[in-house]
């Protein structure tokens, strides 16, 4: 487990990175600006910093220069951007950035860079790497027979299926889109309980990339915490999910 500071002015990216890295077992702190990042770096003593380049108050490269010049760079830094040039990326690397992630960030690329960054920081401090086991591997429960279907597996794990899964009552008089959303809520609540809230195993069972699964759960109003769920209306509007961690589209006022 590591303490990770995520610095990005886009709330969607901060939340998504926080969810993904928290699910990997890390403690994540987020900052929306360079000013907030300065304070949180001092207070939280992060093991790794994910730093966006283009921000409204002070850009990430300038903030990196500031930390290096003042001797405050105590953790590896991974830069992120959706529109940075090769020159900008090269400048950040020369200043001491460990890696550069181009948005949209592929999930596998993100996790690989974070793992390398944490190990690099541990080696720099003379510590032995102590990475958390990958989600969905070492923490897997013993194999259970599948002959009695999902409800038996959930009961054997000491969990109860969500109430909606016990009585699959979907209003078939509502529009197809709302009925589909209602079914998907029931489906994902049941799978989360059955798989002990392992996002890796639920994504594998549902046939989705994990980044896509995070987006899907969020748009459906399904909480990621054990046994918790937001009380949203079944007829709330939905949005299109994304399979990558991307910046705001052009024209939204974010010059990322």
pLDDT recorded at residue 135: 54
Residue range 66-119, pLDDT digits in tens: 999 999 888 999 999 887 677 888 888 899 999 999 888 888 999 999 999 999
Q: Which phi and psi angles does 125 have, rounded to 5°?
A: -90, 0
Q: What domains can you pick out in the chain, each with its CATH number?
A: 3-124 (3.40.50.2300), 136-256 (1.10.10.60)
Given strand 3-7, what is the order of strands in its sheet? Answer: 27-31, 3-7, 48-52, 77-81, 99-102
Integer Cα distance of 146 and 50 in angstroms: 42
User: What are the angstrom distances between the C-alpha of 125 and each of 6, 97, 120, 136, 205?
Assistant: 21, 17, 9, 29, 40
Integer Cα distance of 117 and 178 in angstroms: 43
Q: Which residue has the higher pLDDT, 247 or 256?
A: 247
Pair 225, 90: CB distance under 8 Å = no
pLDDT recorded at residue 165: 42
- In the predicted structure, residue 52 carries a pLDDT above the cut 50: yes
3-state secondary structure of 70: coil
pLDDT recorded at residue 225: 60
β-strand partners of 80: 52, 101
pLDDT recorded at residue 64: 95
Integer Cα distance of 188 and 194 in angstroms: 10
Identify each DSSP E strand in the chain by its residue range. 3-7, 27-31, 48-52, 77-81, 99-102
Q: How far apart are the first and last CA of the chain?
A: 30
β-strand partners of 30: 6
Q: Which residue has the higher pLDDT, 231 or 151?
A: 151
Pair 83, 54: CB distance under 8 Å = yes
Burial class (CB in 10 A: 0-12, 13-18, 19+), 99: buried
- In the predicted structure, residue 227 carries a pLDDT above the cut 80: no
The stretch 127-151 carries a mean pLDDT of 47
* Mean confidence (pLDDT) of the chain: 76
- In the predicted structure, residue 241 carries a pLDDT above the cut 80: no
**245 preceded by a cis bond (ω within 30 of 0):** no
Q: Which residue has the higher pLDDT, 32 or 145?
A: 32
The stretch 137-144 carries a mean pLDDT of 48
Residue range 108-119, pLDDT digits in tens: 999 999 999 999
The stretch 236-256 carries a mean pLDDT of 47
In percent, the amount of the chain with pLDDT more than 90 equals: 33
Task: Annotate 173-236 with three-state secondary structure.
Answer: CCCHHHHHHHHHHHHHHHHHHHCCCCHHHHHHHHCCCHHHHHHHHHHHCCCCCCCCCCCCCCCC
Residue 176 in tokens:
């197809």
The reported pTM is 0.55
- In the predicted structure, residue 56 carries a pLDDT above the cut 50: yes
3-state secondary structure of 49: strand
């Amino acid at each position: 487990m590591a303490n990770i500071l995520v610095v990005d002015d886009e709330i969607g990216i901060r939340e998504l990175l926080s969810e993904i890295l928290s699910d990997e077992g890390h403690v994540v702190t987020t900052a929306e600006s360079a000013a907030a990042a300065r304070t949180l770096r001092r207070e939280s003593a992060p093991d790794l910093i994910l730093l966006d380049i283009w921000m409204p108050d002070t850009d990430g490269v300038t903030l990196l220069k500031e930390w290096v010049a003042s001797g405050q760079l105590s953790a590896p830094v991974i830069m992120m951007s959706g529109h940075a040039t090769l020159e900008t990326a090269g400048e950040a690397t020369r200043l001491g950035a460990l890696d550069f992630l181009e948005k949209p960030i592929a999930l596998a690329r993100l996790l690989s860079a974070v793992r390398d960054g944490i190990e690099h920081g541990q080696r720099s401090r003379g510590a032995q790497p102590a990475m958390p086991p990958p989600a969905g591997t070492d923490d897997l429960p013993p194999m259970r027979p599948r002959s009695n279907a999902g409800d038996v597996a959930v009961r054997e794990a000491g969990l109860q299926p969500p109430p909606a899964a016990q009585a699959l009552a979907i209003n078939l008089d509502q529009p197809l889109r709302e009925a589909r959303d209602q079914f998907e809520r029931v489906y994902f609540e049941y799978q989360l309980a059955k798989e002990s809230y392992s996002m890796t195993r639920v994504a594998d069972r549902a046939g989705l990339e994990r980044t896509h699964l995070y987006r899907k759960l969020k748009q459906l109003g399904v909480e990621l915490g054990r046994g918790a769920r937001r009380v949203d209306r079944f007829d709330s509007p939905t949005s299109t999910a994304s399979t990558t961690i991307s910046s705001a589209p052009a024209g939204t006022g974010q010059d990322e």
